[in-house]
Amino acid sequence: MRIVLVGPPGAGKGTQATRLAEKLRIPHISTGDLFRANISQQTELGKLAKSYMDAGNLVPDEVTIAMAKDRMQQPDAENGFLLDGFPRNVSQAEALDELLQGESMKLDAVLDLEVPEDEVVKRIAGRRICRNDSSHVFHVTYKPAAKEGVCDVCGGELYQRDDDSEDTVRKRLEVYHTQTEPIIDYYKTQGLVTTIPALGSVDEVTTRALEALKGGSDGA
Ligand code: AMP
């Protein structure tokens, strides 16, 4: 299956993507994680991306699309993938369609994780992530680590993402509304979108997402 996960920052895309990809046995491709890996390896791409990310802006399409394409063309993605954080604007969605059409492939579903804005801010402000593995995510109130600052899973150091500060979060939300939300309409015209309420427990949201994938899109 080829799936796109859309939703505002803090909707739980990363958490759900990790779980869904595991269940569906397809790779989880997160452009945010790919950029963060480049930043920690201090590559040229990482240096470029960091300036945009810290300001809450999108990294330019040219480099983002090239990086995503390269990842999607790795052998493990031959039979499907779950995209988290890509595409993030209509030009990226068009580039993805072109890439897939060139290989006689298409997307199977777009899951739109919906969460109220005040909840988003609360979730992001308390979010802490493991330096060893970004799929190990905690929250100071909703999911505190047993020992403050230490990952329960692997003992890694927990940190707050540079772009999770309140000002940057506001900017990221604005970018989401103006640039990313239009891709939901873009995919609705292709009948691919199912909206998933992303409130409730992590398990509940995963169950809703899996149900949606079984039943196909609601065409809404
Ligand atoms: P995420 O981890 O998905 O929240 O992404 C963190 C940041 O990485 C975003 O705020 C952007 O600055 C950058 N980023 C991630 N994916 C993309 C994308 N598809 N296009 C442009 N910038 C991106």
Domains plus CATH for the chain?
2-115+181-215 (3.40.50.300)
Atom 1 of ligand 1, residue of closest alpha carbon: 32
Inter-axis angle of helices 61-72 and 31-40, nearest 10: 100
What would the two tokens of residue 156 be? 């890694």
Q: What's the whole-number mean pLDDT along residues 186-208?
A: 96
Atom 8 of ligand 1, residue of closest alpha carbon: 32
Q: Which of 71, 127, 128, 208 is catalytic?
A: 127
Residue 159 CA to ligand 1 center (angstroms) comes to 18
With bands split at pLDDT 50, 70 and 90, how would you rate the model's confidence at 71?
very high
Residue 32 CA to ligand 1 center (angstroms) comes to 5
Residues 118 and 13: beta-carbon distance below 8 Å: no
Is the pLDDT score of 162 beyond 90? Answer: no
pLDDT > 90: percent of the chain: 84
Q: Which of 19, 88, 128, 208 is catalytic?
A: 88
Residue 161 annotated among the catalytic residues of the structure: yes
With bands split at pLDDT 50, 70 and 90, how would you rate the model's confidence at 173?
very high
Q: What's the whole-number mean pLDDT along residues 173-189?
A: 97
The pLDDT value recorded for residue 38 is: 96
Q: What's the whole-number mean pLDDT along residues 91-101?
A: 97
Close Cβ partners of 160 (under 8 Å, ≥ 6 residues apart) = 127, 128, 129
User: Nearest CA to 175 among 61, 57, 79?
Assistant: 57
The pLDDT value recorded for residue 216 is: 53
Atom of ligand 1 nearest to the CA of 56: 10
